[in-house]
Chain A
Amino acid sequence: MRSLVIADLDKGQLAAATYHVIEAARQLGAPCDLLVVGEGCADAVTRACAIAGIERVLVADDPVYAASLAENLAPLVVAVSAGYSHLLAAAGSVGKDLMPRVAARLGVNQLSEVIGVESSSRFRRPIYAGNAIATVESDDPVKVLTVRQTAFAAVEPRGGDAERVELEQVIEAPSTRLLGEQRAESERPELTSARVVVSGGRGLGSREGFELVYQLADRLEAAVGASRAAVDAGFVANDLQVGQTGKVVAPELYIALGVSGAIQHLAGMKDSKVVVAINKDPDAPIFQVADYGLVADLFEAVPELIEQI
């Protein structure tokens, strides 16, 4: 048994999610290697080599891999997969795009959004928008997994001395061209790894009303999230969406402002340690999962809250 974790990169750096996925791999009890693939990832490789428990860091640094396209990454992962019993990646947009393609090329199943490792072949994962947890077993010779990062602690970024292995082979699929990327720039902590998340819903009423969320988030040095209703109403960009179809977060403190708490949204935040809801509708379902609920007008309560903390 030997595991390969495919690292997630964020602006050339190792993304926080990678440290959580390595913890999931560590729980398999097998030696673990890391694949760092992208463009200009020298820093990421240096850091990767220093992670305790990583034996080898496979490096594919080439402009071809800059956009993390599955058509280019999947053949590379398949090419290096021999000898590995487990292939793991974070259940982010790259991992979800890539791993099923890898699994299909290998003729095996893929397990998505794993939240628990029971043995080397038995895993737990949420189904039905997190309303049920399935324990599943795979007989496949290679287990291809995506891991929900919020379900695993992060491994220490130090204490390791991994061997660096350069991959010579570069694979470029002619079928796909990158035309452009629009990245939402933010000074705030990254949503999926933030300690505190302040999230806004339709109750904010408008794009201007959503400023309240930013103000409270600034006060708490928190990341900003949103419900689908707030995204669809055009208050914020869709990359802030928390929920089944958006991002899954599990911060220490989750503050929901004007969020009703549809099942869709709860699937993305109900593993938060402490949940606070402020909503003027006393019957909003969010109050059923909130540790502390305040029925109040946001536009009075939030400025008061900012003042008191």
Chain B
Amino acid sequence: MKVLVPVKRVIDYNVRVRVKSDHSDVDLANVKMAINPFCEIAVEAAVRLREDGKASEVVAVSVGPKVVQEQLRTALAMGADRAIWIETPETPETAGLGPLGIAQLLAALVREEQPGLVLLGKQSIDGDNNQTGQMLAGLLDYPQGTFVSGLELGDEEVEVVREIDGGLQTLALRLPAVVTTDLRLNTPRFIRAPDIMKARRKPIAHTAPEQLGVNPAPGPRTLAVHPPEPRAGGRRVESVGELVEHLRQAQVI
């Protein structure tokens, strides 16, 4: 069974973001970019399925300008077999694409590629939308297993453990299905130098929205981006007694 893994290029999670002074966006110039951490977990899960003999092929896909090939190479170095680059002239955000537009492109690709399972991260750490997997499942009318921390792939069904408010929920989804990964699903492997060399020889196919026959819907318009309200500078207290006194004065205890 083929597993399709969409991955997104995002700002590295260690980078402290700055809002541009004209409040048009956050400043991404000269900022370290990386594969979205949740997507990395999805790639790891897919590669493990193939290593366990439960999947036959792992195909990574990304939407964006040429630079997203870097993240596709990362997925290939982790063990994906091949990759597909859906080219848009700019990043999805600057091209005005939201999760709906991305999901429409992915849905067209799923109809072409016919994977048994689509594995995505539960959210990207830039837009924090947590939508694309659910939208893709909705467009395809596939079952969805979101926020998944346990995954057992069978021939007809995939069994997933979901992280829900108040605990865990286990579902069986009839294939083909869409699954989105939570942080606890696995720990992605470390990429070694020979893996990077091997990944260079793996194919990245090129396609574009027109070739997929999709005119993706525009996302919501971003009118302004502001830094959050700063918290007033705090103070150090020297003892537990002093702390309790302050909390009494603030009337919170």
Contacts and interface: CB of A to CB of B under 8 A. Distances in A.
Interface string A92-113: 1110111111111101111111
B236 A287 contact: yes
Most chain-B CB neighbours within 10 Å: which of A71, A175, A183, A290? Answer: A175
A206 interface: no
B102 to A, nearest CB: 11
A201 to B, nearest CB: 16
B247 A109 contact: no
Interface in A55-109: 67, 69-71, 74, 92-94, 96-105, 107-109
Contacts of A105: 138-139
B50 to A, nearest CB: 24
Contact of B128 (A108, A112, A238): A112
Contacts of B235: 291-293
Interface stretch (B51-59, B78-86, B164-172, B196-204): B164-172
Interface in A174-190: 174-184
Interface size class of B (residues with CB under 8 A): 35 or more
Interface string B217-253: 1011111111110011011111111011011001011
Interface residues of A, number: 87
A109 B125 CA distance: 19
A274 interface: yes
Given A93-B163, A97-B147, A292-B246, A136 B220 contact: yes
Interface in A255-281: 263, 270, 273-276
A109 B126 contact: no
B174 A175 contact: yes
A288 B246 CA distance: 18
A126 B222 contact: no
Contact of A127 (B127, B132, B142): B127
A104 B100 contact: yes
Contact of B174 (A70, A131, A174, A253): A174
Contacts of A132: 17, 19, 26, 225-228
Given A133-B228, A135-B223, A176-B172, A196 B134 contact: no
17 contacts: A67-B169, A71-B144, A100-B138, A101-B134, A104-B139, A112-B130, A127-B128, A131-B227, A132-B225, A135-B226, A175-B174, A178-B170, A180-B170, A181-B170, A184-B166, A184-B167, A245-B183
Interface of B: 11, 16-17, 19, 26, 98-100, 103, 122-123, 125-139, 142-144, 146-147, 149, 159, 162-174, 177, 182-184, 217, 219-228, 231-232, 234-241, 243-244, 246-247, 250, 252-253
